[in-house]
Amino acid sequence: MNSNSLPLRRRLRAAFFAAAAFLATTPAFADAGFQTWINGFYPTAAKAGISESTYRKAFAGVKTPDETVIEKANYQPEFKHKIWEYIDSRVNPYTQKVGQEMSVKHRRTLDAIEKHFGVDRNVLLAIWSMESNYGAVLEKDDRLHYVPRALATLAYADPKRAKFAKTQLIAALKILQSGDVSPRELNGSWAGAMGHTQFIPTSYLLYAIDADGNGHRDIWNSIPDALATAANLLKKNGWQPGMTWGYETAVPAGGSDLQGQTKTLKQWAALGFTRPNGKGFRDGNIRATLKMPGGSGSPGFLMTKNFSVIKRYNASDSYALGVGLLADEIAGYGGMQQAWSRPDGTLDVKQKFELQSRLKELGYYDGEVDGNFGSGSKAAIQAFQNRKGMTPDGQPTQNLLRALRD
Tell me, what's the pLDDT at 72?
87
287-291 vs 145-146, strand pairing mode: unpaired
Task: Let me know if residue 184 belongs to a domain.
Answer: no
Tell me, what's the pLDDT at 88?
94
Task: Let me know if residue 8 belongs to a domain.
Answer: yes
Q: For residue 20, is pLDDT > 80? A: no
Tell me, what's the pLDDT at 358?
97
Alpha carbons within 13 A on the beta-carbon side of 332: 3
The Cα–Cα gap between 125 and 375 comes to 27
Last residue of a domain, one of 64, 81, 111: 64
Tell me, what's the pLDDT at 27?
43
Tell me, what's the pLDDT at 170?
99
Tally the residues of the chain.
406
Mean pLDDT of 181-199: 97
Last residue of a domain, one of 64, 86, 101: 64
Task: Let me know if residue 387 belongs to a domain.
Answer: yes
CB 349 within 8 A of CB 92: yes
The Cα–Cα gap between 178 and 65 comes to 25
Mean pLDDT of 67-89: 81
CB 309 within 8 A of CB 239: yes
The Cα–Cα gap between 65 and 342 comes to 41
Q: How confident is the model at residue 28 (pLDDT cuts 50, 70, 90)?
A: very low
Task: Let me know if residue 107 belongs to a domain.
Answer: no
Task: Let me know if residue 359 belongs to a domain.
Answer: yes
Q: What is the 3-class SS of the chain, one letter each residue?
A: CCCCHHHHHHHHHHHHHHHHHHHHCCCCCCCHHHHHHHHHHHHHHHHCCCCHHHHHHHHCCCCCCCHHHHHHHCCCHHHHCCHHHHHHHHCCHHHHHHHHHHHHHCHHHHHHHHHHHCCCHHHHHHHHHHHHCCCHHHHCHHHCEEHHHHHHHHHHHCHHHHHHHHHHHHHHHHHHHHCCCCHHHCEECCCCCECCCCECHHHHHHHCCCCCCCCCCCCCCCHHHHHHHHHHHHHHCCCCCCCCCEEEEECCCCHHHHCCCEEEHHHHHHCCCECCCCCCCCCCCCEEEEECCCCCCCCEEEECHHHHHHCCCCCCHHHHHHHHHHHHHHHCCCCCCCCCCCCCCCCCHHHHHHHHHHHHHCCCCCCCCCCCCCHHHHHHHHHHHHHHCCCCCCCCCHHHHHHHHC
The Cα–Cα gap between 216 and 210 comes to 6
Q: How confident is the model at residue 278 (pLDDT cuts 50, 70, 90)?
A: confident
Q: For residue 78, is pLDDT > 70? A: no
CB 236 within 8 A of CB 253: no
Task: Let me know if residue 397 belongs to a domain.
Answer: yes
The Cα–Cα gap between 253 and 249 comes to 13
Tell me, what's the pLDDT at 17?
41
For residues 88 and 74, which has the higher predicted lDDT (pLDDT)?
88
Q: How confident is the model at residue 74 (pLDDT cuts 50, 70, 90)?
A: confident
Q: What is the chain's Cα-based Rg?
A: 25
Residue-number span of the structural domain to which 370 is assigned? 349-405
Query: What own/partner pairs with CB < 8 Å and gap ≥ 24 does 394-402 have?
Result: 396/347, 396/352, 396/355, 397/345, 397/346, 397/347, 398/345, 398/346, 398/347, 398/351, 399/345, 400/355, 401/347, 401/351, 401/354, 401/355, 401/358
Q: State percent of the chain over pLDDT 90.
A: 83
Tell me, what's the pLDDT at 76?
57
Task: Let me know if residue 13 belongs to a domain.
Answer: yes
Lowest pLDDT segment from 263-272, 284-293, 303-312, 366-375: 366-375
Tell me, what's the pLDDT at 338?
96
**What is the rounded average pLDDT for all residues in the chain?**
92
Q: For residue 8, is pLDDT > 70? A: no
When divided into structural domains, the chain yields a total of 2
Residue 372's alpha-carbon distances to 161, 219, 338, in angstroms, are: 29, 26, 21
> pLDDT tens digits for 94-119?
999 999 999 999 999 999 999 999 99
Of 275, 255, 256, 257, give the one whose Cα is nearest residue 265: 275
Q: How confident is the model at residue 31 (pLDDT cuts 50, 70, 90)?
A: confident
Tell me, what's the pLDDT at 279?
87
Tell me, what's the pLDDT at 25?
43
Last residue of a domain, one of 64, 92, 108: 64
CB 15 within 8 A of CB 51: no
Amino acid 190 reads W
Q: State percent of the chain over pLDDT 70.
A: 91
Mean pLDDT of 299-303: 98
CATH code, domain carrying 357 = 1.10.101.10
Task: Let me know if residue 37 belongs to a domain.
Answer: yes
Tell me, what's the pLDDT at 70?
87
Q: How confident is the model at residue 393 (pLDDT cuts 50, 70, 90)?
A: very high
Tell me, what's the pLDDT at 80?
62
